[in-house]
Amino acid sequence: MTERWIQTISQKALLSLLYEVSASPKPGLVDRFNQGAHKDMDFFTFMASSAALSNYFNDCAAEGLKYAGQNPQELFQALRSLGMDAEKSMFEATDNVNTHKGLVFSLGIICAAASCCMTENETKMVTTDTICEKVSFMTQGLCLRELTYMNKSDALTYGEKLYQKYGLRGIRGEVESGFPTVRKYSLPELKKLKSMKTLHLNDILVQVLLHLMAVNEDTNIVARHDLETLEFVHHKAIKVLDLGGIMTPKGLQMTHEMDREFIDRNISPGGSADLLAVTVMFDLLSQ
């Protein structure tokens, strides 16, 4: 595998971040139109954060190359220090605002898994399923170690608190299971909409986000609010999709109304936004 493959993977990860934040309107989320339900970040904060992470994705892809044919769990361990450094770079670039912590985790793992699979199979054409299987092997036992058998009472992260309270496994569970929500819901929808060849990429991405919001157990929403609010978001997303989503005048109008309502109620479907970026990444890797 050449240096160019590593560069290609990292560029696609960076593009996934940029596409996700640029898609507009995204109810309750930072986009080109407004700050969503966030007082401490805007579109330009995400630009700064994305730029700060570009080298990190390159390093993750390079690490995957090194561990080809070896124990995938050792590759995952090797990524941890890279991830911690990337988070520091993100916080420095954003003045201590958490823009991309979830995607440092998930996209970093995908970059490493993709380069590892490409090297092992001696081809750039590896399927999403192959990459996701590698991701699962890399993170096997993660939820058991970090959530089920967690042995600490103070300084719990949001994810740890939500697992203790509701049993939600969040992004850890999604990653360890090989991104089932993405593979079952959002990626097929993205590919279907793209195949129509008549829709603008922005509209496709917003529509895919709505599909994610309708099904995703978004721990970002639950952390700010509760399970009832998560159900409310599911219901709203299903309702707007029933109207045709962003593709119809009524659906688009309701999407804008959702945005205003989510901002008023301080609802941010950040977990679904992260999965949108992951969906884009898998689509770009399949090209």
Q: Count CA within 13 A, CB hemisphere, residue 66.
A: 12
For the segment 64-79, the average pLDDT, to the nearest whole number, is 96
Rounded CA-CA distance 168/151 in Å is: 17
Helix (H) / strand (E) element for 109: namely: helix 101-121
Q: Dump pLDDT digits (tens) for 86-103.
A: 999 999 999 999 999 999
Rounded CA-CA distance 214/177 in Å is: 20
Q: Is the pLDDT of residue 150 over 70?
A: no
Torsion 91-96-100-106 (CA) sign:
positive
For the ranges 6-10, 150-154, 248-252, 273-277, which has the lowest average pLDDT? 150-154
What pLDDT, on a 0 to 100 scale, did the predictor assign at position 168?
85
Q: Is the pLDDT of residue 2 over 80?
A: no
Summary mean pLDDT of the chain = 94
The reply to whether omega before 249 is within 30° of 0 (cis) is no
Torsion 245-246-247-250 (CA) sign:
positive
Residue 236 CA from chain centroid, whole number: 21
DSSP letters spanning 202-240: HHHHHHHHHHHHHH---HHHHHHS-HHHHHHHHHHHHHH
pLDDT band, residue 107 (cuts 50/70/90): very high
Q: Count CA within 13 A, CB hemisphere, residue 245.
A: 22
Query: What domain range includes position 92?
Result: 3-285
What pLDDT, on a 0 to 100 scale, did the predictor assign at position 177?
96
Rounded CA-CA distance 135/174 in Å is: 10
Give yes or no for a contact between 221 and 230, defined as CB atoms under 8 angstroms apart: yes
What pLDDT, on a 0 to 100 scale, did the predictor assign at position 164?
79
What pLDDT, on a 0 to 100 scale, did the predictor assign at position 147?
80
For the segment 115-136, the average pLDDT, to the nearest whole number, is 95
Q: Is the pLDDT of residue 196 over 80?
A: yes
Q: CA angle 206-210-212, nearest 5°?
A: 115
What pLDDT, on a 0 to 100 scale, did the predictor assign at position 180?
98
For the segment 114-125, the average pLDDT, to the nearest whole number, is 92
What pLDDT, on a 0 to 100 scale, did the predictor assign at position 152?
59
Q: Dump pLDDT digits (tens) for 11-52.
A: 999 999 999 999 999 999 999 999 999 999 999 999 999 999
Q: Which of 21, 15, 27 is nearest to 46 (CA)?
A: 21
Q: Is the pLDDT of residue 1 over 60?
A: no
**Taking the model in full, what pTM does it have?**
0.95
DSSP letter at 42 equals: -
The reply to whether omega before 188 is within 30° of 0 (cis) is no
pLDDT band, residue 153 (cuts 50/70/90): low
What pLDDT, on a 0 to 100 scale, did the predictor assign at position 66?
95
Q: In the block, which residue shows the tokens 């399949």?
A: 286
Q: Domain count for the chain, please give it.
A: 1
What pLDDT, on a 0 to 100 scale, did the predictor assign at position 161?
79
Rounded CA-CA distance 165/167 in Å is: 6
For the segment 57-70, the average pLDDT, to the nearest whole number, is 96
Give yes or no for a contact between 222 and 204, defined as CB atoms under 8 angstroms apart: no
What pLDDT, on a 0 to 100 scale, did the predictor assign at position 244?
97
CB neighbours (10 Å) of residue 183? Answer: 16
Q: Dump pLDDT digits (tens) for 259-269.
A: 999 999 999 99
- 253 phi and psi angles, rounded to 5 deg: -60, -45
